[in-house]
Amino acid sequence: MVNYRYLGNSGLKISEITYGNWLTHGSQVENDVATQCVRAALDAGITTFDTADVYANTKAEQVLGDALKGERRESLEIFTKVYWPTGPGGPNDTGLSRKHVMESINGSLQRLGTDYVDLYQAHRYDTETPLEETMQAFADIVRQGKALYIGVSEWTADQIRAGAAMAKDLGFQLISSQPQYSMLWRVIEDEVVPASKEAGLSQIVWSPMAQGVLSGKYVPGKDLPAGSRATDSKGGARMIERFMRDDVLERVQGLKPVADELDLSMAQLAVAWVLQNDNVAAALVGASRPEQVAENVKASGVTIPAELMARIDDVLGDVVERDPAKTAEGAPQTRVV
């Protein structure tokens, strides 16, 4: 069964393996299988579920809401996000303006079949809306009881500091950051993590398995596994391509002896690795089959000895991306329409 951790400087506990439905529900996986995956997550002790209005253009929220029907709402932590374009793509169907934020929370609640979400997250930083406007909208949503807590995703260290300070002035707090983080992608360690600790946020990390590359299933010189993310033309292949170099894949294969020593699969090792960071509250995992959920949960509670953490660094060497500037480089400079 999964362990639980506090989220940021708050009293909210979440499952350290959190179920996310980014590239699966409403797009890659049929609804009945998606529901089976959610049931498997619940059976494994996962109580925390993360989605976003943009996933499958709102369909993912609907699928998750349907899958959770009948569950005791108070026993769940449901997270969603706002920023990216949804709907027909009108001029106000994107960003963090008061209009888009207030309309988006209402749409998300309707699709999820709940009166409130436990965490509402700014899916990116909006360069075209004054931060004061965005944070006031979030403050109002909290006061209305539509969201209990507020978080951000892929914000830089400076943006986190500014947002956290403004939230405090408005009488609420930011408690979480949701960045990409894995053995191969460590760009948050030098700046985002220290800023988050200072401001009372912890990380809910996405792609702990580097889009499946750290599972070891992609072998240099061999055909891509049928049905894998690297073959998905709906978005998965594009997201994974940065890791699909022979030098990266060869280094990843070198992690197998470490996983074997811990009696873990390579995928479990990847999830357990991110959870060794004391600023990480949870690792987001998805699934296209129910049995994958049960396997992922085995990473919960694992302690990787310091000597094996050092060996992982030695094995991966210079294929690890550490440049903190990558957070800003990957962010939209203008609103995406």
Q: Give the C-alpha separation, 147 to 174, whole Å.
A: 12
Q: What is the pLDDT of residue 237?
A: 61
- Return the pLDDT at 115: 98
Tokens of 332: 């939209």
Give dist(CA 315, CA 265) in Å, integer.
17
Q: Strand pairing of 4-6 and 13-15?
A: antiparallel
Amino acid identity, position 224: L
Task: Write down the pLDDT at residue 244.
Answer: 86
Domains observed in the chain = 4-329 (3.20.20.100)
The CA distance from 269 to 36, in Å, is: 24
Asked if 14 and 47 count as a contact pair (C-beta separation under 8 A), the reply is yes
Give residue 154's pLDDT. 98
* Residues with a known catalytic role: 55
Strands 77-82 and 48-50 turn out to be parallel
Whole-model pTM: value is 0.94
> What's the confidence (pLDDT) of residue 21?
86
Question: What backbone phi and psi angles, to 5 degrees, belong to 40?
Answer: -65, -35
Closest CA to 220 of 193, 246, 187: 246
pLDDT by residue, tens only, the chain of 337 residues: 899 999 999 999 999 999 998 755 555 556 788 889 999 999 999 999 999 999 988 999 999 999 999 999 999 999 999 999 998 888 999 999 999 999 999 999 999 999 999 999 999 999 999 999 999 999 999 999 999 999 999 999 999 999 999 999 999 999 999 999 999 999 999 999 999 999 999 999 999 999 999 999 888 877 666 656 655 656 566 678 789 899 999 999 999 999 999 999 999 999 999 999 999 999 999 888 899 999 999 999 999 999 999 999 999 999 999 999 999 998 888 887 7
In angstroms, the CA 67 to CA 39 distance is 8
